[in-house]
């Protein structure tokens, strides 16, 4: 076994990358041809390398650079001390910094998640155990995910944007197809479920007027029958009355409804009027939000995301909080690659209760930064990666190429409104639209 006294961080490498992402529509606008991720590698005195992946942008990357100076020389086991050093330096990051977009814009949660996951990867390698064991051990061998459907324009993103790639079949072909109506969504669902074996389906909404999106949910229900659980997520752009009126039509069809409205109080109002559970990754997004979540009764299910909750151990703690207060816990996602997926799978395997299939954007991506290529889904589930730590290794050549993509594409942050304006000039994000 490794000499455990020498696990001090010697180097931190921060590599922004740009990965091909299709033109997916959501309440904030349109996905750009590339999504930005950042790959973090920590190296110890003893040359053990630990890796992680987070959503990237220039602000987060520069915060990571500062964090790198603070954690140099620190022991990878001393995560509490690392956290404190970051808190002292950056100050407390209030939950209001989350922003109105469907994704979390706080910096510190990303930074700590990046460092924590890489430290856990190192610890796992040093002690010869997997990250799931560091989180308390496996409760299951495979972690189920849901098909994540999007309204989308034609194209698969990157250089292929708006051009059809010839000769592709199956999901790669379906991935390029336009889907702007219930028929397109049902076609996308069939292709995705066939390719990956998903047994639950989520539709991202908040794009078109409510009835059109309700019709897509009802068309999915009609096509897949009552045994395939369905969820729908308009990312909080509905008013309370709209949410109550339109969700009533879907009550028989949905296993849960995600963020129909903005804010805990509005969520609580809607929740009182519906017979289906409400889930959120927008109104209860940090431990700071828990007291008001309980007093208002804003949701039934918290969709955790280790990138936004400050890491895997925080997400485990969240699961205990959820159990205490009668919430279920499931998982949120954003466009990502295999390091994030591996971390999600370790966490999903360790959670005591996993009542719902987790979200993942992974089928929409085609790039990869881990050796051996993309992780595989079997009947919609991913097996916990074998081997110590995260069980995945960096493919340095791919990281190099994707870093070049980052430099070439010129994007520095996610801005779905700007992308949408290229298609619909003057289009503006509205926190509440219908
Ligand atoms: O990828 O467009 C997207 C989603 O809208 C994403 O950004 C959300 O954060 O998937 C997310 C959600 O469940 O709200
Ligand atoms: Mg959501």
Ligand 1 near 235 CB (within 6 A): yes
Residues 374 and 400 in one domain: no
Confidence of residue 168 (pLDDT cuts 50, 70, 90): confident
Residues 118 and 262 in one domain: no
Identify whether the C-beta of residue 160 lies closer than 8 Å to the C-beta of residue 176: yes
Residue nearest to atom 14 of ligand 1 (CA): 102
CATH number at residue 101: 3.30.390.10
Q: For ligand 1, pick from 204, 284, 335 the residue to mutate: most ligand atoms within 8 Å of CB.
A: 204
Distance of CA 65 from the midpoint of ligand 2 (Å):
29
Instruction: Report d(CA 250, CA 218) in Å as an integer.
Output: 7
Please check whether residue 413 lies inside any domain of the structure: no
Residues 233 and 377 in one domain: yes
Residues 160 and 109 in one domain: no
Confidence of residue 3 (pLDDT cuts 50, 70, 90): low
Confidence of residue 1 (pLDDT cuts 50, 70, 90): low
Ligand 1 near 264 CB (within 6 A): no
- Between 112 and 97, name the one with better pLDDT: 112
Confidence of residue 95 (pLDDT cuts 50, 70, 90): confident
Q: What is residue 159's predicted lDDT score, i.e. its pLDDT?
A: 84
Please check whether residue 142 lies inside any domain of the structure: yes
Please check whether residue 165 lies inside any domain of the structure: yes
Average pLDDT over residues 201-208: 98
Say whether 231 sits in a helix, a strand or coil.
strand
- Between 161 and 68, name the one with better pLDDT: 68
- Give which of 301, 395, 313, 319 is closest to 346, Cα–Cα: 313
Please check whether residue 427 lies inside any domain of the structure: no
Residues 184 and 82 in one domain: no
Least confident of 31-35, 104-108, 153-157, 427-431: 104-108
Residues 87 and 189 in one domain: no
Identify whether the C-beta of residue 144 lies closer than 8 Å to the C-beta of residue 199: yes
With 80 as the cut, is the pLDDT of residue 113 above it?
A: yes
Please tell me the number of the ligand nearest to residue 361's CA: 1
Residues 276 and 370 in one domain: yes
Distance of CA 277 from the midpoint of ligand 2 (Å):
14
Please check whether residue 315 lies inside any domain of the structure: yes
Instruction: Report d(CA 50, CA 36) in Å as an integer.
Output: 20
Residues 236 and 316 in one domain: yes
Residues 171 and 318 in one domain: yes
With 80 as the cut, is the pLDDT of residue 63 above it?
A: yes
Tell me the residue range of the domain where 149 lies: 134-383
CATH number at residue 270: 3.20.20.120
With 80 as the cut, is the pLDDT of residue 164 above it?
A: no
Confidence of residue 82 (pLDDT cuts 50, 70, 90): very high
This prediction has a pTM of 0.97
Confidence of residue 6 (pLDDT cuts 50, 70, 90): confident
**350-367 per-position pLDDT tens digit:** 999 999 999 999 999 999
Residues 204 and 341 in one domain: yes
Please check whether residue 273 lies inside any domain of the structure: yes
Ligand 1 near 105 CB (within 6 A): no
Instruction: Report d(CA 9, CA 259) in Å as an integer.
Output: 40
Mean of the per-residue pLDDT values for the chain? 96
Confidence of residue 414 (pLDDT cuts 50, 70, 90): very high
Q: In degrees, to the nearest 5, what angle opens at C-alpha 201 toward C-alphas 200 and 202?
A: 135
Ligand 1 near 334 CB (within 6 A): yes
With 70 as the cut, is the pLDDT of residue 341 above it?
A: yes
User: What residue ranges in 33-80 does DSSP mark as E strands?
Assistant: 34-44, 49-55
Average pLDDT over residues 94-121: 93
With 70 as the cut, is the pLDDT of residue 279 above it?
A: yes
Give the number of domains in the chain: 2
Please check whether residue 255 lies inside any domain of the structure: yes
Q: What is residue 320's predicted lDDT score, i.e. its pLDDT?
A: 97
Residues 12 and 126 in one domain: yes
Distance of CA 421 from the midpoint of ligand 2 (Å):
23
Q: Kindly give, in sequence order, each residue whose CB lies less than 8 Å from that of residue 339, ignoring residues fewer than 6 positions away.
A: 39, 51, 52, 53, 369, 370, 390, 392, 394
Confidence of residue 163 (pLDDT cuts 50, 70, 90): low
Residues 14 and 61 in one domain: yes
Identify whether the C-beta of residue 291 lies closer than 8 Å to the C-beta of residue 271: no
Catalytic residues: 204, 332
Distance of CA 125 from the midpoint of ligand 2 (Å):
33
């Amino acid at each position: 076994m490794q000499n455990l006294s020498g696990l001090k961080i010697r180097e931190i490498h921060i590599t922004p990358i740009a990965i091909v992402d299709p033109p997916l529509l959501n309440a904030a606008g349109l996905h750009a041809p590339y999504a930005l991720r950042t790959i973090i590698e920590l190296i110890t005195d003893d040359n053990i390398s630990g890796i992680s992946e987070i959503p990237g942008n220039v602000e987060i990357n520069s915060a990571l650079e500062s964090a790198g100076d603070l954690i140099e020389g620190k022991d990878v086991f001393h995560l509490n001390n690392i956290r404190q050093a970051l808190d002292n330096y950056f100050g407390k990051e209030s939950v209001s910094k989350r922003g109105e977009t469907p994704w979390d814009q706080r910096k510190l949660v990303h930074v700590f998640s990046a460092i924590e996951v890489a430290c856990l990867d190192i610890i796992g390698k040093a002690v010869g155990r997997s990250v799931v064991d560091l989180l308390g051990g496996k409760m299951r061998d495979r972690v189920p995910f849901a098909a994540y459907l999007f309204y989308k324009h034609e194209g698969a993103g990157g250089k292929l944007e708006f051009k059809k790639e010839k000769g592709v079949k199956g999901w790669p072909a379906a991935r390029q197809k336009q889907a702007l109506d219930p028929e397109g969504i049902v076609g996308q669902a069939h292709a995705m479920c066939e390719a990956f074996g998903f047994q639950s389906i989520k539709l991202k909404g908040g794009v078109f007027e409510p009835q059109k999106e309700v019709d897509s949910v009802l068309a999915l229900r009609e096509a897949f029958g009552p045994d395939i659980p369905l969820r729908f997520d308009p990312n909080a752009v509905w008013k309370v009355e709209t949410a109550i009126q339109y969700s009533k039509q879907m009550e028989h069809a949905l296993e849960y409804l995600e963020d129909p409205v903005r804010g805990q109080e509005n969520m609580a109002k809607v929740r009182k009027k519906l017979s289906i559970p409400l889930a959120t990754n927008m109104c209860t997004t940090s431990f700071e939000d828990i007291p008001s979540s309980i007093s208002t009764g804003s949701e039934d299910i918290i969709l955790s995301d280790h990138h936004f909750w400050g890491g895997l151990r925080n997400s485990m703690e969240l699961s205990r909080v959820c159990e205490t207060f009668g919430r279920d816990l499931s998982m949120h996602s954003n466009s990502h690659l295999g390091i994030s997926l591996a971390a999600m799978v370790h966490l999903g395997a360790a959670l005591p209760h996993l009542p719902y299939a987790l979200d993942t954007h992974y089928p929409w991506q085609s790039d990869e930064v881990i050796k051996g290529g993309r992780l595989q889904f079997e009947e919609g589930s991913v097996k916990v990666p074998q081997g110590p730590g995260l069980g995945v290794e960096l493919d340095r050549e791919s990281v190099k190429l994707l870093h070049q993509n980052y430099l070439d594409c010129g994007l520095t942050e996610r801005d779905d409104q700007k992308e949408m304006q290229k298609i619909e000039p003057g289009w503006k994000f509205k926190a509440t639209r219908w």
